[in-house]
Amino acid sequence: MVRNKNLYGLVATFAICLALVCSLYSPSGATAINSTANCTIAVSGSGTIEAEPNQAKVCLGVETQSENVTDALNENSLKMTAIIAAMEDLGYSMDEVRTSYFSISPVRNTTDYTKIVAYKAYNEVTVEINDLDEIGEVISKAADAGANNVQRIEFGLTEAEEKKQKNEAIKKACADAESKADAIASSLDLVILRVASVRESSVSAYSYREGGGFNAEVPIAKVGAIAPPISPKAVEVSATIEVVYECS
């Protein structure tokens, strides 16, 4: 019996020693503390480009009025048909000449608003022009055909050119963000290691519009109009990004 007790004691002692030895060689990574943690610099960058437009949209309108609603509509329809035909003669397809607004509304007595004295019909088409030198001719031919309003002229970019200019604006925004981060790091005696994250905030192209809205109509000349000189305006393309830099 004594011998068995001694044997049990020896086994227990061996097990305790083995556990102690194993604990000495257990990995310690789970409790390690990184004493060299890096800081970050967060900045925003912006870039703007003044791009030359390569496309224009001209809104041409016809307004007619008559005491009879049918007469007002018929006169308007004849004139608009003539305008569309004039655009086709200049080489514009139906995809480039599209209806953008149409209305028929009563004209009321100025002293007694309950009385209708006439009816007014308005029809408008937007002509998409890729050769900006043709803007004046488009307007004069439309006037000859019966147009009596130019609601607005919008200078813009084709889809391909807009994408190209937006990418250039993004590049300028990236350079602006990097410049700001370098200035901050230099002032605080930090060293930029890498870009931790970047986010695009906004990218847009702002077309220039001359005129606009039905309260800002631009009357145009009668038949035999001389093509007016039109000076294209630049399109503003801008981009904004947010960048986080890791520093030490």
The 3-state secondary structure of 146-209 reads: CCCEEEEEEEECCHHHHHHHHHHHHHHHHHHHHHHHHHHHHHCCCCEEEEEEEEEEEEEEECEE
What are the sequence ranges of the domains in the chain? 2-31, 55-156+216-230
Question: What is the average per-residue pLDDT within 150-179?
Answer: 95
pTM above 0.75, yes or no: no
Question: What is the average per-residue pLDDT within 183-204?
Answer: 95
pLDDT at 155: 93
3-state secondary structure (DSSP) of residue 126: strand
C-alpha to C-alpha distance for 188 and 40, rounded to whole angstroms: 12
Determine what percent of the chain is predicted with pLDDT higher than 70: 79
**Measured between alpha carbons, how far is residue 41 from residues 173, 174, 239, 248 in Å?**
16, 14, 20, 10
3-state secondary structure (DSSP) of residue 240: strand
**Measured between alpha carbons, how far is residue 222 from residues 114, 120, 246 in Å?**
34, 19, 67
Q: Which of 53, 54, 61, 55 is nearest to 213 (CA)?
A: 61
According to CATH, what is the number of the domain 55-156+216-230?
3.30.70.2970
